[in-house]
């Protein structure tokens, strides 16, 4: 499953980031979110951009303990095997893998098939796209 952003509909409210950190880590912290919305003015233009896990698998390759796996169109993490080394955090090209303050690795696991960011978006700007892989 892929997540895509309709930049015309997105208002940049960041509710998706807040709900992500809330359900994954029990705190509000956009920096811990497994997606990133950029919405702001640059040179007099409103620029909106979203970064989502697109299963590039750089994190899977970087993980020395095999804690991150990819199956059925989603990543999953085995927290037991995770050594909190942070290599995946550095490897993620979008900066959306995070180690929480409690040491838990946060990755986009699509919330088990119903992503909270999609369900909470007030303007239906984040959409799911089922991919073949």
- Return residues touching other proteins (CB under 8 A): 8, 11-15, 18-19, 21-23, 25-32, 38-46, 101, 120, 122-123
Q: Which is nearer to other proteins, 78 or 124 (CB)?
A: 124
Paired with 103 in beta bridges are: none
Q: How far is the CB of 72 from other proteins (least distance, A)?
A: 26
Nearer CB in complex with other proteins: 63/125: 125
Residue 55 CB, shortest distance to other proteins, in Å, is 25
Is there a contact between 99 and 89 (Cβ–Cβ < 8 Å)? yes
Q: Are 132 and 56 in contact (CB under 8 A)?
A: no
Q: How many CB atoms lie within 10 A of CB 33?
A: 25
Between 26 and 66, name the residue whose CB sits nearer to other proteins. Answer: 26
Smallest gap from Cβ 71 to other proteins, in A, equals 28
User: What's the token pair of residue 45?
Assistant: 């233009």
- Of 105, 49, 117, the closest CA to residue 79 belongs to 105
């Amino acid at each position: 499953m892929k997540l895509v952003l309709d930049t015309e509909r997105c208002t940049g409210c960041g509710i998706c980031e807040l709900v992500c950190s809330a359900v994954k880590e029990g705190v509000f912290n956009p920096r811990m979110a497994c997606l990133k919305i950029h919405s702001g003015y640059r040179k007099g233009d409103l620029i909106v951009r979203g970064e989502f896990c697109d299963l590039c698998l750089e994190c899977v390759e970087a993980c020395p303990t095999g804690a991150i796996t990819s199956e059925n169109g989603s990543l999953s993490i085995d927290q037991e095997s995770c050594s909190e080394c942070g290599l995946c955090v550095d490897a993620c090209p979008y900066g959306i893998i995070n180690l929480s303050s409690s040491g838990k690795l946060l990755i986009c696991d699509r919330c088990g098939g119903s992503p909270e960011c999609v369900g909470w978006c007030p303007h239906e700007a984040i959409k799911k796209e089922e991919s073949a892989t």
